[in-house]
Each structure stands twice: as structure tokens, then as C-alpha cells.
Amino acid sequence: MFGHTPNIHSKSEADTLVEQVIQEASKTFIPGMRNSDKLFFKMVLRPGSRSYPDPHFRSDANNIPHSNLVASMGPQFADMANFFLDTAFNPTKPIEKIVALCDPTTIHTTDTADSMLEGDCYDYFLTSREVEINDFSFKIKRLAGHMTTEEAKDTIPAGLIQSELEIKTKLPSEPEKNSSKKLQVTFFEITDGNAITLNHDYQKQIVWDLNVYAQSHPILVHCRSGIGRTGNFIFMLEILKDYDTVFASQHPKTIAENIHAILKRLRTVRPALVLAPEQFASAIRNARILHNFALGKGYVNQAEKTAISPLKRPAEPPKTAENGQEAASSSANPSKASGSDQETVESDKKPKLR
């Protein structure tokens, strides 16, 4: 049962309400538990952590309750075999989409185990190349976005890159078990301790598409430790998913309580999720930004023209009289998005990650 539509008729009123909600919710926000906390140690010293002898990326500490999102550490070179086994080659619920939230200057490109515990993750998605490791070989193909290097500093226009991995098993003793899978990786450039920014429509379109996909398919999200940047991104999507319920009231305190209920659910299995107050506030603000974007694009139903209204489940995209498929394709194609970054990404003339 959806709540009533708040009677807010201007963007400024809506923005004021969101800021009031952030102020109210921040009063009782507890930053994610850090290394000094025993519960944190209990969480990281189990499967899903590099500190564990046989790390896995799908465990009780990784799977978010009542969600298709999986929170994970960033894989290093030594982790890649388990990473593939727990994602693309998972026998019960394979994962086909990954969200990587990393600082590109800390991503390792050396194919050795010496980089363990250093940097956000191993470069399994940025540099187009072919790699062999243990019983796997994989080919990295850039689909959208590009990266330039000046004085050893990487620059990523629009702050995101999309790649596709074609992964093959190679078991000489059991050739009948050899197979091929694909992983699609969306990389957002975010430095440690910070949160995702949504300044361009292209970014909003990509995140909205991931949000829709996550309603029925699993997505693995990682940064370095899988708690700060990862927590910010997952918290944002979970607020967006329940936007109709969260913002059913006009009262900041009630909305803040709804938001904390979501965070409590996320922290049930992973208590350190969302480390910093800035990441907490950013998730709420970005959920609002994405909701407005979806309303403007006609991706969600809207009972009446209000600045904040309940988010129904993704609606059928509107069709034009001239071409019934035009609007439908726009929701799945970020090339329809506006903004200066659109020209940057389109210049690559490469297909969009699906």
C-alpha cells in the first residue's frame, strides 16, 4: 500500500524537504564501524575478505537482505579465480553485472600476487587486453567511455567507463566442463572516503538502468573494502527502490525514520556499510536526484504533477506517434542523455553496455 502523494508543488519546496530530512536523519546516523570495532573484525575475517585463507565474494556477509545487491571487497590478482567462480560462474545465481567504485590511480595492472592489500583492486576491467590466471582466461573489451593519461595521472571523462569481460575456463583434464561467460562492468571514478556524484544526465541514465536491472537480477558492487563507497551506492539504490514508502510523508522526522530502517536492514549482515556522514547524506540526496530524473524521462508513473511524488515501479516508456519504439529505446540508451559528457562518450562510437 503506497503512501499519499506529498502536497509539494515546487522544486524549491521539495529540495528544502530533502535537506531537512538529511539534517534530521544525520542526527542519529552512526558512521560505519571501523577496524577498532569487534563486530567489524568479525565481519572482515570471514569469507569475502582477503584476510581469510580462501576468500569468496558471495557469503552471508555480502548478500544484502531483501535485495539483489551484493556488497564486496575489490578483487586483487590472487582473488580473480574465486571472483569469477562467485560471479559469472556461480552455479545457482550467476552475476552478469558488476559496479566498481574505485580510484583509478590505485588500480593495479601488474599480474602478480604482490599487489595484495594495496590499492582498490586489480585491473580486470580498465585496460583492454587478454589475461590468463589459473583455470581462467579473460578478454577485456571497452564498450563506452575512455581514459587519458597525463603525467601518470588517469583522467576519465564523465567519471565512468563500461567494459565487457569474456571469460573462459580451461580445464585440460575435464574439457567437457570448459565454458564461456560474460561479465559487464560499470566503473565509477570515486576516491576512497567519497561518494558518487551525479552531475550529468549520462551518469543518471546509467545508474537508473542499473537500478531497474537490480529489481530482478543480482549486481555485485565493490570498492576496496566493500563498505564505504559500496555502502553509499547500495544505500542510494535501496532508498530509490522504496522511494514511494520513504517519502510518503511530508514530515522530515518520519522520512528520516524510514531511511534509518533501510540502513538498519543493510547493516544486518554488513555492519560497516556507509562509513562517513557525507556518504550517508549523499545517498539520500542522490536518490532524490535519480527520482526526479526518472520522472522527467517518464520512466516512472506519476499520479499528479508534484515535485516529490511516490515512486511507482518502472513504467512503460511513453511512445511517440511517429515511432512507437523511440521513447522505449531512450531509457536503455544513454546516448539519449544530455550534457557535455554525452559528446565525450559518443565520440568513441562504441556500443552501450547492456
User: Tens place of pLDDT for every residue, the chain, 354 residues?
Assistant: 223 334 454 567 778 999 999 999 999 999 986 533 544 444 444 444 444 444 578 887 789 999 999 999 999 888 898 999 999 999 889 999 999 999 988 898 776 655 445 689 999 999 889 998 888 999 999 988 876 655 546 667 678 899 999 999 876 666 666 689 999 999 999 999 999 999 999 999 999 999 999 999 999 999 998 999 999 999 999 999 999 999 999 999 999 999 999 999 999 988 889 999 999 999 999 999 999 999 999 998 754 334 444 444 444 444 444 444 444 444 444 444 444 444 333 444 433 333
Q: In terms of CATH architecture, what is 11-339?
A: Alpha-Beta Complex (3.90)
Residue where the block lists cell 575456463: 169
For cell 563486530, name the residue.
39
CA 180 to CA 89: how far, in whole Å? 9
Q: What is the pTM of this model?
A: 0.78
Q: In angstroms, rounded to a whole number, what is the distance separating the alpha carbons of residues 162 and 311?
A: 28
Task: Give the pLDDT confidence score for residue 306 in this predicted structure.
Answer: 41
Contact 220, 72 (CB under 8 A): yes
Quick one: pLDDT at residue 326? Answer: 43
User: Would you call 338 exposed, middle or buried from its count of C-beta atoms within 10 A (0-12, 13-18, 19+)?
Assistant: exposed
Of the candidates 157, 147, 51, 57, the residue with the CA atom closest to the CA atom of residue 105: 147
Domains of the chain: which residue ranges? 11-339
pLDDT at site 232: 97
Handedness of CA 106, 112, 115, 117 (dihedral sign): positive
Strand partners, 146: none
CA 105-64-258 angle, 5° bins: 105
State the pLDDT at residue 182: 95
pLDDT at position 173, please?
63
Separation CA 257–CA 118 (nearest Å): 38
Environment class of 230 (CB within 10 Å of its CB; exposed 0-12, middle 13-18, buried 19+) = buried
Measured over the CA atoms of residue 159, residue 205, residue 281 and residue 270, the dihedral's sign is negative
C-alpha cell at 246: 520513504
